[in-house]
Chain A
Amino acid sequence: MAPFSDYLAGGVNDLRLKPRILRSLTRDLDDTGDRRSRLFDGEELANILEKVQLHGLLSEVLPEGYAGKDEAKLREEWRSAVDAWVERLLLLVSDKMPQKCWAGTCLLGVTIEECTSERLIASYSIWFEKLLQNIQASSNNRFIYEASYACLSDLFTRLSSFPNVKKESTSFSGRLVQPILQLLDDDGSFMEAAIDLLCMLIKFYPSAIYRCYDKVESALASKIMSGNSNMEVLKKISGALALLPHAKGDSGSWSVIMQKLMISINLLLNDVFEGLEEEGKGSEIMKLLVPAGMEAPPLWDQKNKPEGSTHATRRLRESISPLLYSLTYSCCVMLTNPYPVQVTIPVRPLLTLIGRVLNVDGTLVSKTVLPSTTSLYQELLCSELPTFHLYILDLLIATIKGLKSQLLPHAASVVQHVTDYFRRATLPSIRAKVYYTLELLLHSMGAGMSLYLAEHVIGNASIDLDEVHENICISKLGNEASLKGSPKKRKRGRSSSQSNGVEEETKSVIAGKKSAPLSVKIAALRAMETLLSVGGSLKSETRRLEADRLLINLATKSLDTFTGKAGKYLCIGESPTLQEEYCLVALQALLSSLLSPSHVRPPYLSQGLELFQKGKLEIGTEVATFCEKALLALEVLIHPRDIPLVNYPIPIAAVVSMNEFDDEEMHPGWWGESDDDGDTQPQSMDVDAQKSQGVEQERREDNKEAATSSFEPEKNESSSVLPPELGLGHTQAAVDQLPSQYLQNIGSDTKYAVSQDTVKDTQGKKSYYDLLGNNSLKGKELMNDSDSDSVPPVMLGETDTESD
């Protein structure tokens, strides 16, 4: 039997447990004996990983102030356990057996992330060499490559925070660039991990990349221009290219990369849009991109420049679309990522380029049909065109995000482009993205932008959200006989939600099948919400009413659908999560419509409150959480209160102590002691020194009295709770103009009573509304109008607290 001291006194929290677990895990990694096969089923490895992370076995950190008598012993024990663990891992890393090598590399990566700084500094060079060998070995497996690159990336990421090894780690990192470039050239299939490492080096070791900047650039660019990797990899490569200017960190290299990207996009479009747009657009943009007298930068060459034999149509799908994607993605990253110095963004060319793409709708423009523009080509281009538009909209979104307030001079033209395009956009994914663009514009430009966009947003959203309209569309599309007359019935159904006949149910299900996808509706609702938040009813009263009505109807329906009480609106085939999101967005938009200032009282306030109350019952869902917030937000609307700035009696006591502190400790001699040597504080002058000296004395006495009395509210002597400044050191005028709130507090009671907040003369209440723009609303209406039972109106108490 083990000696008693071997048992863990602290149970699971006993620190001695950690080295023990680690030792046992190290033993598990040992493949001699009967355990040999367990390493290879993955389960063992997963178990080890979980244990290491769960217990923090590698941290070697004793809690702050750990004072066990065995502290030194425990430290030693833990240290040696980690030593053994690392030793074991290193053996595995250089093992010939791929599984073992892989397991060792992965766990070494975890160790690098979690081990102590001392251990890292002491052994990083050994680890680096081991991992480098793995990378350079040509016969390796994908798993091992990926793990090794990730491991190296983690190693250098951690080392970057130690300035004392900066020099050495930079020189180490330089040795990695060559293998990475090799890998890029070799067309390896496991490039992603290497690109991750490259990005890390650009971020943390720019000087390592600086030396071979051009090589890296051309390697990345040629990879992009060849355009035959899969999308995920392309995205990574484009991201790396966009990050590359950081290696130099000057404004010039940023601009050059940006310029090259845009020229490449433009040239690509010249090729693709031939015959489908007016001629000369490309050269016009080129003129903007490369101003007269400047020289264009050397361009990246397209490796597999299409030969004549390649069929134009195949080229379009297989190489041009990915190429456009990666070029625009690079631009997006550059526009939105941080950069150490200020840069010059070529806004005009950028917007012209975006406009160029959005303007092409696939119709033939040139009268003389070019030989390259066959009808088949047009057909194929049209099938790819929406994808192009989506990419370019992403670019527009990035421009809006990147420029922020600086978009101002160009805002009007952006609005022009987008709204023109919106009129032509029919595909759901495009409409959703356009809505998002409008939303961003509203966010970035505020009320001024809402004047421009109100009409477009509300107009388009009511088409996308209105189910009556959908029905009409459907009946137009066909199936007319079965759906005849349904719009009318639907309308009736909307106004009185109780009428749910079987007939109508089937119809709405049919309509539901064909209605605009939820993603578009969600985007439309979001745009509406933003519009109402930033723009309110600025100059659009009529539109506003329409929007309010639409939103209350939608929110009611979507909540009904969500709670499952009215199955008739259930849209078949839509996942419940999307449904929930839709409901959430509808309720959010409703809240905005209720809160957003309008010139009349929100017409659907009581319905809205009821709805939120109902939604609140769906406990445990996002919807319920939001409904609760909404009710909180609406509180101020149903109980408008004019709360005095400070209504606690306590501050009087606080003032005393603060004054004393202020006067004597912080600014000695403030209140007049330095009367005769005022020059000691040249910047400050004494305030009526003579007067205040006497006054101060008086005031303190008064304050003390006030302080004591404020703790006995029952006494209720109005004079004793007067704020100390009353009648002290001030003219009579000041007393006459006492804050009315003070007088109230003095006159009635100084208990911590909330009811006091609401005691306010009716005159004041009315004018509060006047100020907010609710001219029609008088105090009385407020009481009668809130017809919701759950929210009693504020009682406007008569005031007798005027000073006499």
Chain B
Amino acid sequence: MMGLTAAKLPGLNSFYTFPEYRRLHVGVQKRITEVTDDLSVRSRALSGTSEPRRGVAPDKMSDHAVFTRDKVLTIHSMNPTVKKVEYAVRGPIVQRAVQIEQELRQGVKKPFTEVIKANIGDAQAMGQQPITFFRQVLALCSYPELLKDNMFPEDAKNRAKRILQACGGSSIGSYSASQGIDCVRQDVAHYIESRDGGVPCDPDNIYLTTGASDGIVTMLKLLVCGEGPTRTGVMISIPQYPLYSAALAELAAVQINYYLNEDKCWSMDVSELERSLEAARKYCNPKALCVINPGNPTGQVQSRQCIEDVIRFAAKENLFLMADEVYQDNVYADSCQFHSFKKVLFEMGPQYSDTVELASFHSTSKCYMGECGFRGGYMEVINMDPEVKAQLNKLVSVRLCPPVPGQALMDLVVNPPKPGEPSYNNFKKERTDTLKLLAEKAKLTEDILNTVPGITCNPVQGAMYSFPKISLPGRAIKEAMALGQVPDMFYCMKLLEETGICLVPGSGFGQIEGTYHFRMTILPPTDKLKILLAKVKEFHEKFTKQYS
């Protein structure tokens, strides 16, 4: 059918001319002969002698073979926007940490015996136990034979049956609708309504996502257009969670920084929003405003008043609001409470609630469940133009559907056991214990860090991180510069090498020029967290002495 006959050989078919073809050869006649010889020899070789060819020595198969040929994809020819992407949470420090772990396993001597990773909000990797009920339902969904088993409580079985019934062929192995499983979206809508004191929520506005990140990137994708001064600008907080800067870099959108006020517990200030918007309007078209509440990496919980101000600002300036609310259950400070942007928006009256476009994001990865690996999440869109919504549906349909186990998990998060159900007591205990422990660790972290001269730490009101300011001696800064490193990267790298503690430098999140920070999670178990904090303290004192 596709025989390697002369008629099909490239270069021999007189129908086509190939001026570009076989650039390495000169002379058409010569070329044709070569092609013919080359190919017939090769085809003979291939049909008969595949076996010996497999025996090529491994070194010849490496990238360093004698034969050189330009690669198609090199650092110079690759997508320049991808090159600009940076994601410090899994950046060089973390890569080095993984290396050190390997070295430790290989028996290399270090001044420590284990690496403590406080770089990422990965609760279960730090020993947090999953919520039993959630995992029971997931096991039941994965292997419905277990529904016959009497080791599972009835409420878990009922949940599993309900989810399975909503899946094609009653299997979590089938694709769901692109927007997510219908009944899960309904449950999400109910959850939002009850969370927001009755503000209505339409399941049609709910989109299940692959973790919150997927939703955020999708929304940004819709928003980006224009060239030069009309290119879409997106306002993000500084410090920020670097998903935002990474997504904006990849989409070649314009990043507009607004600074949180560290002196006022990382609060958001409307005059700062105005300043940054005004400045940005000179070179781009600001279209969206992203807010992370509770804050990552900064741990502040926004007041209701502040949210109102932000909404008013967005309404006045015609900005699309993106509210990253994945830490909505992680509020520790007694004086703070989580207010959803949607609820506040609706309490501000119809001139806001009927007009301001809002997308808010939630996930299974944080809060008390910490189920990062399942990549569950949802977003709710409000006041989105119906035609744009159709486009959004189309866009998400290309990736077919978010992982169904993650959707199932999201369902459980928004629809956990209710009082009276057999699993309720255990669920409630697990949930309360986890949140209580996190609150304790938040306080512990703040308290201990604040005893270190040269470290100032705002209260960790919510989320899972502390983002203390560190003062670095001038000599350390000079040395870092000489090494071509950002000073806080220099600091964190040294900390890692000397103590095995893995933190992320503030420069990965953004900070006011001349200030230095790091982000650490409060997730390690209390005893480990205490060790970590003691080591950070000791290291910082030593570091300060060494460079003063």
Asked if A pairs with B, the answer is no
